Each structure stands twice: as structure tokens, then as C-alpha cells.
Amino acid sequence: MRLSFLTARERRTNRIFNVVALCITCAFLFPLYWMIVTSLKLESDIFLSHPTLIPVHVQWKSYTDQIASADNNILRSFLNSSIISVATMILSTMLAIPAAYGLARFQTPWKKLFILLFLITQMLPSSLILTPLFIEFKNLHLLNTFWAPILADSTIGIPFSVMILRTYFISLPKELEDSAKIDGCNTFSTFYRIMIPIAIPGVVVAAVFSFLYAWGDLIYSLTFISNPKMRAVTSGIFNFLGYQGVSWNNIMAFGVVSVLPVVLIFIFIQRYVVSGLTNGAVKG
């Protein structure tokens, strides 16, 4: 009887936790749902005294306008964001992998200082380094080019990627490297042929977050690129808000379309993200 009572109590507790978790999930997802619903509503339905949770009159014009518009063409903004984000992801990941491996495996006198500098870099707000970067890019003639936001976004992606990959490399057994060296591999071939393939989940996490940092960037893209045809999706939303005033259904439609790549990324590579964040979490 005692065991059956405990089992029933545990089931009741699990039900309560599931209900609480469902409520929290709905609370977090409601803004996304409201954005989608607002994008499908007519302008007159948005400002009703008693807003409806479901569109009374569904319209798709707010989505078609994003493609037909000459000033805020979302396809062009998508292409610009893709170029900036993919280039930032490649640059950040390629530089972070050897740096993280070196900090994880090699003992140097300045190792702790390097780690501290990476941590401090992550804490710096973007507005603090905006002016120095602007002056530097101006002297290098990089303003109004994609290289300016790519390099600026890399200053965010590289430190985070190094910290993620360093803990991941530390969690890998040292015996793998010793076995590879016994088989005739040198340090570079061991790193390239053995360690990187094993660390793929951590590499994927670093690459994904570097991509998302660049995709969601507003301040760098808006500051370093003044040509409207070269601006990213986030800058396009900002301009659309300025041009259209209170046309909320168009603004929400632009937001829905710009969020789709982020949602698809987490759907298709969720298992890599989870394993990459959990492996090596207990070591530093």
C-alpha cells in the first residue's frame, strides 16, 4: 500500500509539473502567435476595442507586399542577411576551432589571461566598441560593404565559440590523441583527422550561434551600411517601421518571415545543439 500511495503521488506531481510547464510554454510562445495573427488581420481589426485571438478576416496582402515592395523587398534583405550571417559563421568557426583547441590542450604562460580576455569580450556591449570599429572601418574603406558587419559580428561570435569549443575539447579523452600519435599522426593531423570529427556537435553549436548573432544584428548593419539595398533583414524591419508608420500588419508579416530561418535551424539541428551544449558542461 505504501508503494502504491507513493506511485500515485508521483503521478499527481508529474501531472502538476506538466500543466505548469505547458502554461509557461504557452506564455513564452504567445508573443510569436500574436505576431502571426496580427500579420493576417486587416488594419481595422487590429485596433478593435476587444481584439480577437483569431483573425476575423484573413488577408495575405501584408505578405505579398514584402515581395512586391521596391523600398523594403524582403527577398533582397534575406539575401543580404544570408551573405553576412554565413560569412560570419564561417569566419568565426574557422578561427574559434584552433583557438579553442589550443586553450584546451596546450599549457602556455598566458593561457588564463587569454581565457579571461575572451570572457571580458563577451561582456562588452556592442555600443561600447561601435565608435572604434566605425573609425577603423572608415580608414580601411570598408563602410558600405558587407565586410564591415561581417567583421563586427565576428567579434561577438568568436569569443562565444571559443568558450563553447574549449569546454568540449576538454571533455574529450586525452587517450584519443595519444593513440593517434602512437599510430604516426603528428599534432596537426591528430587535430584535423581525429579531434574535429569527434567535436562536430560542439562545432555545430558554435556555428549556429555565430549565424544567429549575425542574423539578429541591428546596430552594426545599421551603422556601417547606409545603402538601403545592402541592409539586412533587421535593418529592413527598422526602415519599414519608419516608412509605414503604424501599419502593424505589414510590420508583423515582415517579422514572421524574418524569424522563419531561426525556427527552421533549431528544428533540423536540435539534437546537435542539445548535445553540443551539454557535453563538456561539467568541465572548465
Domain end call among 20, 43, 59: 59
Would residue 208 count as lying in a domain? Answer: yes
166: number of Cβ within 10 Å:
25
Res. 102: pLDDT tops 50:
yes
Q: Are residues 84 and 39 in the same domain?
A: no
Q: In this structure, are residues 152 and 213 in contact, taking their beta carbons and an 8 Å threshold?
A: no
Res. 199: pLDDT tops 70:
yes
pLDDT at 284: 47
Would residue 207 count as lying in a domain? Answer: yes
Q: Are residues 141 and 216 in the same domain?
A: yes
pLDDT in tens, 204-217: 888 988 998 899 88
Residues 6+ apart with CB under 8 A from 124: none
49-61 average pLDDT score: 81
Q: Are residues 84 and 47 in the same domain?
A: no
Q: Per-residue confidence at 56, pLDDT binned at 50, 70, 90?
A: confident
Q: Are residues 120 and 201 in the same domain?
A: yes
Q: Are residues 96 and 211 in the same domain?
A: yes
pLDDT in tens, 26-52: 999 898 888 888 888 887 777 777 878
Q: Are residues 188 and 139 in the same domain?
A: yes
158-171 average pLDDT score: 86
Q: In this structure, are residues 99 and 162 in contact, taking their beta carbons and an 8 Å threshold?
A: yes
Res. 275: pLDDT tops 80:
no
CATH of the domain at 270: 1.10.3720.10
Give the side-chain half-sphere CA count within 13 A for 55: 17
- Grid cell in block for residue 180: 593517434
Res. 200: pLDDT tops 70:
yes
Average pLDDT over the chain, rounded to whole? 81
Range of the domain at 45: 2-59
Q: Per-residue confidence at 238, pLDDT binned at 50, 70, 90?
A: low
Dist. CA 271–CA 7, nearest whole Å: 32
Q: Per-residue confidence at 1, pLDDT binned at 50, 70, 90?
A: very low
Share of the chain above pLDDT 70, in %: 87
Res. 282: pLDDT tops 60:
no
Share of the chain above pLDDT 90, in %: 17
The segment with the largest mean pLDDT, out of 32-41, 124-133, 147-156, 219-228, is 147-156
Would residue 283 count as lying in a domain? Answer: no
252-263 average pLDDT score: 82
Task: Domain count for the chain, please give it.
Answer: 2
Q: Which residue has the cell 519608419?
A: 242
Would residue 284 count as lying in a domain? Answer: no
Q: Are residues 133 and 42 in the same domain?
A: no
28: number of Cβ within 10 Å:
9
Alpha helices in 124-199 (DSSP H): 126-139, 147-171, 174-182, 187-190, 196-198
